[in-house]
Structure 1
Amino acid sequence: MMPPHWTPLVHEAGLASYCLGAGLASMRKANFAEPKHYYGAFFEYTIGLERVMKLALIVDHCVEHGAFPSNEKYAQRYGHRLTDLIAAISGLHNKLDSSARVWEIPSGPIAEAAISILSDFARGSRYYNINVLTGKEPTADPVALWFTEVGMPLLETRRRTPDVRWARLVDNEVGDRAQIRFTDATGAPLTSFEDLARMTRDSEFVAKESTFLCAKIARYTIATLCARAEQADHNLALPYFEEFFYALLIEDSKLKNRKTFML
């Protein structure tokens, strides 16, 4: 017979896995013309990431004290501050044996900007559009901010700039007989077919690299959870968490090319 904590543990792990998978899949489809994919990605991904990290904190308490925390606010003290949660997970990561530290969290200015934007989204900027509509002073548009602070720096790492000269020929042929009513990912207007072609290529690159970056952040937190759970006393009967997240616990070359993450 399973202990009473078994069901909520597996349900929480399953929910976190679902949210992360849905968020990453949506981010991989994201583009400037359909910002819903970015909003959906941020929403699902931040929920999943937060739940994995809070689950890891609860498991850490089990390892340290041989029992689950009795304080109902134990995992809630961080609120939705993903930056603080990731710092806490880094503390757990340092408790692992060196052989268990298979994955490291991405570092550098781009990763730091991504984590900051995601944390702000979880804490409040997810209501950006509602705030605009209801007259509340809004935060920055998270999609525009992502493309400015994460997407554009990622584009600078691209080895080859796509050739869109063919679109210039379309502009010359069509002239002013066509109206283009699109904006780029930052909200700036696109006024030509060349702009559209360039933004399409840029958007695809940013979506792929953003997904890879977020997948690596998730992989780091998941791996820390799994390794920390293995340090717990067997009498606690913790689930084998890897089975909920195996789609993300893979090497970079495979992770980067994934388009679906649902288990």
Structure 2
Amino acid sequence: MASSKQSTSKKPVVLSIETNAGGVSKSTIAYNLAYELGVMGFQVGLIELDPNLSLALFCGLIKQGKLAKEIPGTTADVLDSEFDGAYPWISIWEDKTKNVQMCVGGDPLYGSIRQIDRDPMGVMTLAKRFKQYPINKDFIIIDCPATLEPLPFVALAASTHVLLPIHPEYKAGFGTATMLAWFDKKINDLDRDPPPKIVGMVVSRIKSDWEFQQKIANSIEVVAKRRKLRYFTPIPENAYIAKAAGKGLPLGLYRRNEPVRKQYLEIAQALIDELNTSRGAV
């Protein structure tokens, strides 16, 4: 069972959830991890680095196609050259936990992309913000768009850890090697010591009765083992996960005893282990 711990440091585990394809449940994984860590007593910040607002929707901030309540700003403000350190956090699921906040993404990020493209050091923008204005949380989870440039590179440059979700279809399965090659190159380009660590790979939305998906998942597991990367228990296609997202709730609130919740807890525990290691805990 995962252990709890209160926030004591301004050196959080910064996890970017990255993928080179859509439909792999990156936003679903992001907000469910945030909830599980939050209810265990950890301070968690969710950063939506995606213009499409999927994360805001799944966190219950969007009703009838519009933001359900006033927000103090967006992630684009954090990336802006005039940012003054006032992160636009907004609390979510306040009636269940006080420990999870998020920065909402959205259309303003398109302007951020143009700004980053114009600046030779633009990919370092978020990393610079974190260094100049440290965030007193245990975990920062960055939800990236379904592409590898440029916002995911911005997230990678600011991250201590990376999680790679993969949907077991032919396109995504065959693209695994390409995605890992991209990370190898970009991590090398960053020239950081230590470099961002790939905390693991997780197959998502797998259908147990689809033999071809099982074969692709097995091949991805082989790649992970070859690379000495952790291969998390695959997250199945699950109607309750989808229904929870539609209600703006994490699975742990929508259906507490749903067995698939264990998969999120497995990843959460791995992140806690990384946090304890970085802080020298026994």
Q: TM-score, normalised by structure 1?
A: 0.25
- The structure with more strand, counted as a fraction of residues: 2
Q: TM-score, normalised by structure 2?
A: 0.24
- The structure with more helix, counted as a fraction of residues: 1
Which of these two proteins has the greater Rg computed from alpha carbons?
A: 1
